Amino acid sequence: MIDGGADCAPRGPAVAAVDYRLLFESHPDPVAILDGAGAILQVNQAADTVLHGQVPCDTAPDLVRLGIDPDTFVELARRAREEGPVSWEFACGDAAPRQLEARLLALPLDDAARGAYLWVAHDVTERVHLEQARQQLVHMIVHDLRVPLGNVLNSLDLVLTAWRERDVTLPAEQVLDIGLHSAHRMDLLINDILDSARLQARERDLVVDEIDAAALLREAVEALTSSAERRGQAITVEIMPDLPPLVGDADLLRRVLVNLVNNAVKYTQEGGRITVRVTVDDDAMIFAVADTGRGIAPEDQAHIFDLFYRGGARRAKGAGIGLAFCKLAVEAHGGRIWFETTVGNGSSFYFTIPRVLPERAIYKVEDGS
Ligand code: ADP
């Protein structure tokens, strides 16, 4: 016969009581129990941490700390009882504001004084930030694509109308040039967005080849010459004689240069000067794009390579993608990118591409066959 003895004593309720208390206390989400009148009976550790001191407790009624307007508690409680859990979002905290999603559930207890409602909150700050960033990005991309797309449509429309009406007075070459330039801008933006994501995830292979650095630089400058001319800006190209071939991904490096020259044009006043230079030392090829523009404000300097960051020129066209792409593309080659700036006097952006790429940078070598 098996004697259960003391081990078989009914210990369930006592253990359960302790466990439930522990569960309540150690639950990572803030939890509170309210009575039928909306008084807070208990809060767990997480609720205490998140809510305590966020709003001065001595001046604010308890319900306010839970994101509930005391005047609407009766209605909120009725809905929780009759329709099921009610949820809403609210902000708390001054120094480090957090966004909480709260839910109010009616507890199936007869004794309302012991607890009639369960309030549970979940910190959704990260989700809210991500959603805001996503909306901002969509807004910026739509804006950045809509303007050049409008130019492409207008120039095609003008040329087509002139052709139909046999109008030979239209400066078709200039009109098409504007359209083409705008189409290139859209192409650049889309590719920068796609490649930034791929480079970040290391999903973009470098297509490494021997490149003529001087030709690459001239090509990038040529793409921006008409924009600079329209703004009365002069672009000077300085190429060190006898440059050795550059080893790297031509498509990525051309777009790095186009982005830097494009920024120099965009952030330099009419009539300003832009200098683009390539030199070489024992270790690396060094590119520089200098302008006489407005410079970069101190508060922006630490952030301009961040994805989607736009500096003091928020009103200017731009999605804050160009420099983030440049950094990712240069670093994928094992190089470094940096700038020097004086507010009101201009900025110089530099980047290096090592003469011998680190092994990790070489994902794929074009064999030309
Ligand atoms: P975008 O130009 O689309 O805003 P970028 O990533 O190319 O995005 O640049 C980020 C920010 O850096 C810009 O918004 C601008 O404030 C600043 N910036 C970049 N290049 C220059 C420059 N040559 N002169 C002054 N500010 C610049």
315 or 149, which is more confident: 149
Cα of 90 from ligand 1 centre, angstroms: 35
Confidence of residue 14 (pLDDT cuts 50, 70, 90): low
Lowest mean pLDDT among 72-76, 153-157, 318-322: 318-322
Confidence of residue 365 (pLDDT cuts 50, 70, 90): low
Cα of 304 from ligand 1 centre, angstroms: 7
Largest CA-CA distance found in the chain, in angstroms, rounded: 113
88 half-sphere exposure, CB direction, 13 A CA radius: 14
Cα of 6 from ligand 1 centre, angstroms: 76
CA 226 to chain centre: 31
Which of 304, 306, 308, 309 has most ligand 1 atoms within 8 Å of CB, for mutation?
304
Answer yes or no: are the C-beta atoms of 233 and 274 closer than 8 Å. Answer: yes
- Closest Cα to atom 16 of ligand 1: 311
Answer yes or no: are the C-beta atoms of 290 and 275 closer than 8 Å. Answer: yes
204 or 165, which is more confident: 165
- Phi first, then psi, for residue 331 (nearest 5°) are -70, -30
Highest mean predicted confidence (pLDDT) among 5-9, 48-52, 98-102: 98-102
pLDDT of residue 183: 93
Cα of 317 from ligand 1 centre, angstroms: 10
17 has pLDDT over 80: no
The closest-lying atom of ligand 1 relative to the alpha carbon of residue 291 is: 23
Cα of 276 from ligand 1 centre, angstroms: 17
Q: Determine the average pLDDT of the residues in 164-190.
A: 91
Q: Quick: pLDDT tens for 194-222.
A: 888 888 888 888 889 999 999 999 999 99
81 has pLDDT over 60: yes
294 has pLDDT over 80: yes
Q: Regarding beta strands 273-280 and 284-291, do their DSSP bridges make them parallel or antiparallel, or are they unpaired?
A: antiparallel
Confidence of residue 367 (pLDDT cuts 50, 70, 90): low
- Closest Cα to atom 12 of ligand 1: 304
101 has pLDDT over 70: yes
305 has pLDDT over 80: yes
Q: Regarding beta strands 246-249 and 284-291, do their DSSP bridges make them parallel or antiparallel, or are they unpaired?
A: unpaired
Residue with tokens 């390579």: 305
Answer yes or no: are the C-beta atoms of 339 and 347 closer than 8 Å. Answer: yes
Q: Quick: pLDDT tens for 41-61.
A: 888 988 887 776 554 444 445
Lowest mean pLDDT among 11-25, 117-131, 279-293, 318-332: 11-25
Structure tokens at 356: 């011998």
Answer yes or no: are the C-beta atoms of 262 and 322 closer than 8 Å. Answer: yes
User: Which protein residues touch ligand 1 with a CB less than 6 Å away?
Assistant: 259, 263-264, 267, 291, 293-294, 296, 300, 304, 309-313, 318-324, 347
The mean predicted confidence, pLDDT, of the chain is 85
Cα of 277 from ligand 1 centre, angstroms: 19
Cα of 240 from ligand 1 centre, angstroms: 27
Confidence of residue 254 (pLDDT cuts 50, 70, 90): very high
Which of 147, 269, 296 has most ligand 1 atoms within 8 Å of CB, for mutation?
296
Q: 192 exposed, middle or buried (CB, 10 Å; 0-12, 13-18, 19+)?
A: buried
Helix (H, G, I), strand (E, B) or coil at 138: helix
